[in-house]
Amino acid sequence: MPPILELRGITKRFPGVLANDHIDLTLNQGEIHALLGENGAGKTTLMNVLYGLYHPDEGEIMVRDKPIRITSPRDAIAQGIGMVHQHFMLIPVFTVTENVMLGDESITNGVVLDRKKVAGEIRELSTKYGLEVNPTLYIKDISVGIQQRVEIIKLLYRKADILILDEPTAVLTPQEADDLFQVLRNLKARGNSIIFITHKLREVLALADRITVLRLGKVVGSTEPKNTNSAELARMMVGRSVILSVDKEAAKPKDVVLNVQNLVVRDERHSIAINDVSFQVRAGEVLGIAGVQGNGQTELAQALTGLRHVESGRVTVLGHETTHATPRQLFELDVAHVPEDRQQDGLVMSFPVEDNLVLNEYYRPPFAKGIVLNFDEIEKAAAERVREFDVRTPSIFVKTANLSGGNQQKVIVAREFTGPIKLLIASQPTRGLDVGSIEYIHKRIVEKRDAGAAVLLVSNELDEIMSLSDRIAVMYKGQIIDTVNAAETTKEALGLLMAGVHGDGKTPALQPQTPEQKAETHHQ
Amino acid sequence: MIGMVATSVMRKASDLAQQQRWIVGGVIVVVGLLCVWFFGFQAPADAVSKYRFSGGGDPIQLPTLELPTATTNLILSLLLIAFGIYHLVRGLKNSAVLFGVVAFLLLAIFLTWSIRGASLNMTGLLESTLIRSIPFLLGALSGIMCERSGIINIAIEGMMLTAAFVSVIVGAFTDNLWLGLAAGVVSGALIAGVHAVFSIRFKVDQIISGTVINIFAVGMTNFLNLRWLTVNQELNDSGTFAKVPIPILSQIPVLGTILFNQIVLVYVALLLMFFVNFLLFQTRWGLRTRAVGEHPKAADTLGVDVFKIRYINVIFAGMLAALGGAFLTLGSVGRFDKLMTNGRGFIALAAMIFGNWNPFGAFGASLLFGFMDSLQLKLQILTSVIPSEFLLMAPYLATMVVLAGVVGRVRPPAAEGVPYEKQ
């Protein structure tokens, strides 16, 4: 049987980058084909070409043995190709039904939207594929896991039988991911063909029928799960052997550095994002904060680094009161911060690299004298830091926006890790970075720990949390549901905690209220 | 422990709400007491305020409402105080009701006091309210169509002014009001087309593009008016549309005069309000328009042509605003005066925001502004106590109060003002 989809010599150039270099790929009917590669390897670009969002510079696309031209998503949909994007393409203020029907609406009486009919079709698809959703709910009111189901239903509603899923598990707990895998196997069994994009080796080996590995825009090779293993796949992805686990000795915790007591913080919409959180981080240990995205981790890091107002509670660093401290006051206390969104909060993208390298201490000697900056000193320090932290940049005068994501992150690390830091708060320190950069940044974090810094690590990557942390606190709905010893826990146990299921099987693990408090709550 | 902190946080929030309630309720009571003193006891004891509901020629005559000024105001003020106390004690959840009741009572008190010893034609006041609200409504509908697709339309004022100008000249030149109206609508579409090309194709900041259009419209119409219309006076006299009473319905007392004895443009505007509402929420085009205004990329990935939808919506919006502009000339005075829109495009924008980008809500706000506008005219005639310059401010003051009260309660389309870029 000929392949249902074939890409031949797809090439896509962006200014200065060859994102896809003569890529060949075939997808057979009824198979799950994993597209594996690091961030920046060109996976998403390739799929955007296939979906008509980018136009290839060279190459040919064959669907069901016929060459076709795809110039817009509309063409792709017409060919039965559907895509679940990494960032969901859902409209929060629309209902599930409206999101599903958009672009392919059912109409009655000539002009009126037929919401009822589409809702019925959604219910049918739901039961057929085990994708339970309520079509009348608004997207803003449903969880990320269910939103993903809506995305898949969108494709099925359009009768797509070639499904592309771009990093679908990034926002899911391990258990939700397993559910998704079951749905995908279900879809496969009914004859759909699936391209599954990921950089997670575990998923590839668990799910795929065939694997194609991309590196730097080229196909490195194709294989099948039974003929390979994690180490080999990692080597194909990166191009050299990688140490998948972080080498570190047992922690030797000393004095308490960061002490958080009964912290309460609100989010942008003024609802409580952090609800009475208390914990301590000691010198020489890494405390990892795990949790599904959106359970208060972001707000926690922001509150502790002076970027978000603390509603109540108390925070101290080495005994100094820092509950309402500004970022500069924290810097003066030797607190380093790697922010979650490096382009938004970590760097001034239009500044040259050298300025970003001293952005935290430009105001004091030797970089400034009074109100005048000393550019010679800044240049000297910047050059030194670029060398020490291996920032790959043509010069220190280049605009930071022109650096790759990994090198931008290294600029932040170079800035924050210089000097005697006592507390490091790192939020998603390796998000979107290639394996090489991840390895490097992990090594640096462990170095800082061993040098006696207290480290608070917030990350959505469970692998990262597990390999770097000495203790792991799991956040669920704004509270720390449990804190476990990293050496003694398993991924499954953490996954359950992330879903709000406590170790003893009870949900959720909030402490019981006294009758008096209950009465008060009731009174509200 | 956890529960305690959580409840204490909640208590803080409710403390704040209670504090706010006390302040608002207290202010209402104090204002009510002032009303008792000034509009009640200071009013001449024997004065009578007359509210008329029928014109001289109406086939069915309704009785005139004759109220003793002082007593009426005392009662209304006491009602206001009672309402304030009720809010203090029990608390009203719905701020729209709160605002509505207080505004109604205050207006009634003020109006009764203003017409002491005279009479006010209520039907006339309400009729002129509707007529004066039409330009606001059309401008607001223009804003809604445009902004629901994600393009900010601050150029309503300029579109209205241009269309007012063009429609008079073409109407006078061809001696055909309908041709004048058509020409006005085309001019609005053209100006909107410029805004669309700037905002969509060249990704100019939409506020700046709109401001440029407003400045251009002011400059151009002023120049042409001065250099050309003042020397060719015959071109600045188009005449106006005649009223078209709807058979039978126009005979209904009060309501018939207000609603069913108007020029065609009024009926058209009201029908357009229903049409826009239907279009936005019940049709394919509306769903796609709102999708493009909320999350254009999502719409794009489903095969919706973001640019096409935005272009068509912006141009349609220009035509709606143009109708509002033409209404000011062809619909009421039949001649163009410089700067005659006088900020109405911006008030329409406020009506759009107050109505939360919904046609019916915007109409409600338009009526409010229209009422203030016609009220100040009436009061200028009826009372000499308040300088007319202050009365002229009434619609604008109402706009400011309304906008201040509405902040944070309405939600603009999420992608508004952000140019869409395909990769």
pLDDT digits (tens, 9 = 90+) for A21-36: 999 999 999 999 999 9
Q: Which of B282, B290, B304 sits opposite A103 (nearest CB)?
A: B304
pLDDT digits (tens, 9 = 90+) for B300-347: 999 999 999 999 999 999 999 999 999 999 998 999 999 999 899 999
For residues A365-381, average pLDDT = 91
Say whether A306 sits in a helix, a strand or coil: coil
First to last CA, chain A: 66
Say whether B110 sits in a helix, a strand or coil: helix
Q: Which two tokens stand for residue A488?
A: 């003694």
Question: Do residues B138 and B88 both lie within one domain?
Answer: no
B376 sits in which H/E element: helix B359-382
Q: Which two tokens stand for residue A264?
A: 């309460």
Answer with the one of A419, A442, A459 that is the final residue of a domain: A419
Residue that wins the pLDDT comparison between A297 and A143: A297
A-B C-beta contacts closer than 8 Å: 110
pLDDT at A511: 43
Residue that wins the pLDDT comparison between B220 and B91: B220
Question: Do residues A41 and A116 both lie within one domain?
Answer: yes
Answer with the one of A389, A419, A449 that is the final residue of a domain: A419
Distance (Å, whole) CA A61 – CA A52:
11
For residues A330-342, average pLDDT = 92
Residue that wins the pLDDT comparison between B326 and A370: B326
Confidence of residue A171 (pLDDT cuts 50, 70, 90): confident
- Give the strand pairing for A335-338 and B48-52: unpaired
Question: Do residues A111 and A181 both lie within one domain?
Answer: yes
B2, pLDDT greater than 50 = no
B160 sits in which H/E element: helix B156-174
Contact B287, A102 (CB under 8 A): yes
Contact check, Cβ <8 Å, B2/A312: no
First to last CA, chain B: 52
Give the residue numbers spanning the domain of A440. Answer: 243-334+420-524
- Whether B18 contacts chain A with CB within 8 A: no
pLDDT at A76: 94
In a domain, B413, yes or no: no
Answer with the one of A390, A419, A448 that is the final residue of a domain: A419
Q: What is the signed CA dihedral for B267, B268, B269, B275, rounded to 10 degrees? A: 120
Distance (Å, whole) CA A466 – CA B49:
81
In a domain, B417, yes or no: no
ipTM tops 0.85 = yes
Question: Do residues B80 and B149 both lie within one domain?
Answer: no
Please give the residue of chain B at the shortest CA–CA distance from A109: B283
pLDDT at B332: 87
Distance (Å, whole) CA A353 – CA A314:
36
How many domains is chain B partitioned into structurally? 2
Contact B321, B349 (CB under 8 A): no
Give the residue numbers spanning the domain of B265. Answer: 124-406
- Whether B295 contacts chain A with CB within 8 A: yes
pLDDT at B384: 63
pLDDT at A320: 94
Question: Do residues A466 and A506 both lie within one domain?
Answer: yes
Question: Do residues A300 and A190 both lie within one domain?
Answer: no
pLDDT digits (tens, 9 = 90+) for B182-200: 999 999 999 999 999 999 9
Residue that wins the pLDDT comparison between B255 and A509: B255
In a domain, B421, yes or no: no
In a domain, B217, yes or no: yes
A373, pLDDT greater than 70 = yes
pLDDT digits (tens, 9 = 90+) for B20-40: 788 888 889 999 999 998 888
Contact A31, A193 (CB under 8 A): yes
For residues B272-300, average pLDDT = 97
B261, pLDDT greater than 70 = yes
- Give the strand pairing for A479-485 and A471-476: antiparallel
Question: Do residues B110 and B134 both lie within one domain?
Answer: no
Q: What number of other Cβ atoms are within 10 A of residue A41's Cβ?
A: 25
Confidence of residue A503 (pLDDT cuts 50, 70, 90): low
Q: Which residues contact A220 (CB under 8 A, 6 or more apart)?
A: A213, A214, A236, A237, A239
What's the Cα-to-Cα distance from B32 to each of A17, A319, B80, B385, rounded to whole Å? 72, 55, 6, 21
pLDDT digits (tens, 9 = 90+) for A410-426: 899 999 998 889 999 99
Which of A289, A295, A327 has the alpha carbon at shortest distance from A308? A327
Please give the residue of chain A at the shortest CA–CA distance from B412: A93
- Percent of chain B scored above 90 by pLDDT? 57
Burial class from Cβ neighbours inside 10 Å (0-12, 13-18, 19+) for residue B247 reads exposed
Distance (Å, whole) CA A265 – CA A17:
43
Contact A66, A241 (CB under 8 A): no
Question: Do residues B214 and B339 both lie within one domain?
Answer: yes
Burial class from Cβ neighbours inside 10 Å (0-12, 13-18, 19+) for residue A365 reads exposed
pLDDT at B408: 64
* Chain B nearest CA to A64, separation (Å): 21
pLDDT at B339: 92
* Chain B nearest CA to A511, separation (Å): 7
A chain contacts of residue B420, beta-carbon cutoff 8 Å: none
B50 sits in which H/E element: strand B48-52
Question: Do residues B184 and B107 both lie within one domain?
Answer: no
Answer with the one of B117, B139, B154 that is the final residue of a domain: B117
In a domain, B355, yes or no: yes
Return the CATH number at A116: 3.40.50.300
Question: Do residues B140 and B105 both lie within one domain?
Answer: no
What's the Cα-to-Cα distance from A411 to each of A366, A453, A486, rounded to whole Å? 20, 20, 29
B156, pLDDT greater than 60 = yes
Mean pLDDT of chain A: 88
One-letter identity of residue A271: S
For residues A144-156, average pLDDT = 92
Return the CATH number at B162: 1.10.3470
| Runs of H (alpha helix) within A130-242 | 144-157, 174-189, 201-207, 230-238
Question: Do residues A446 and A379 both lie within one domain?
Answer: no
Question: Do residues B208 and B275 both lie within one domain?
Answer: yes
A261, pLDDT greater than 90 = yes
Question: Do residues A75 and A117 both lie within one domain?
Answer: yes
Contact check, Cβ <8 Å, A312/B9: yes
For residues A35-62, average pLDDT = 89
Distance (Å, whole) CA B102 – CA B126:
20
Confidence of residue A338 (pLDDT cuts 50, 70, 90): very high
Contact check, Cβ <8 Å, B423/A479: no
Distance (Å, whole) CA A118 – CA A180:
23
Question: Do residues A312 and A266 both lie within one domain?
Answer: yes
Supply the DSSP symbol for A138: B
Ranges assigned E (strand) in A325-458: 335-338, 368-369, 372-373, 423-427, 454-458
Question: Do residues B53 and B199 both lie within one domain?
Answer: no
- Whether B290 contacts chain A with CB within 8 A: yes
One-letter identity of residue B406: V
Confidence of residue B423 (pLDDT cuts 50, 70, 90): low
Question: Do residues B185 and B272 both lie within one domain?
Answer: yes
- Percent of chain A scored above 70 by pLDDT? 95
Please give the residue of chain B at the shortest CA–CA distance from A155: B302
Distance (Å, whole) CA A354 – CA A362:
11
Q: What number of other Cβ atoms are within 10 A of residue B211's Cβ?
A: 15
- Percent of chain B scored above 70 by pLDDT? 93
* Chain B nearest CA to A382, separation (Å): 34
A chain contacts of residue B415, beta-carbon cutoff 8 Å: none
Q: Which residues contact B365 (CB under 8 A, 6 or more apart)?
A: B136, B140, B350, B351, B352, B354, B355, B402
**Could you give the count of Cα atoms lying within 13 Å of A380 in the half-sphere of its Cβ?**
6
Say whether A91 sits in a helix, a strand or coil: coil
Question: Do residues B137 and B106 both lie within one domain?
Answer: no
Which of A266, A346, A345 has the alpha carbon at shortest distance from A303? A266
Q: Which of B6, B298, B414 sits opposite A276 (nearest CB)?
A: B6
A181 sits in which H/E element: helix A174-189
- Whether B291 contacts chain A with CB within 8 A: yes
* Chain A nearest CA to B279, separation (Å): 9
Q: What number of other Cβ atoms are within 10 A of residue B180's Cβ?
A: 26
Question: Do residues B92 and B133 both lie within one domain?
Answer: no
Q: How far is CA B101 from the centre of its chain?
A: 19
B4, pLDDT greater than 60 = no
Contact check, Cβ <8 Å, B3/A105: no
Question: Do residues B75 and B218 both lie within one domain?
Answer: no
Q: Which of A92, A102, A479 sits opposite B287 (nearest CB)?
A: A102
Greatest mean pLDDT range, A467-471, A496-500, B22-26:
A467-471
Say whether A182 sits in a helix, a strand or coil: helix
pLDDT digits (tens, 9 = 90+) for A207-220: 999 999 998 889 99
How many domains is chain A partitioned into structurally? 3
Instruction: Give me the phi and psi of B313, to 5 degrees please.
Output: -65, -45
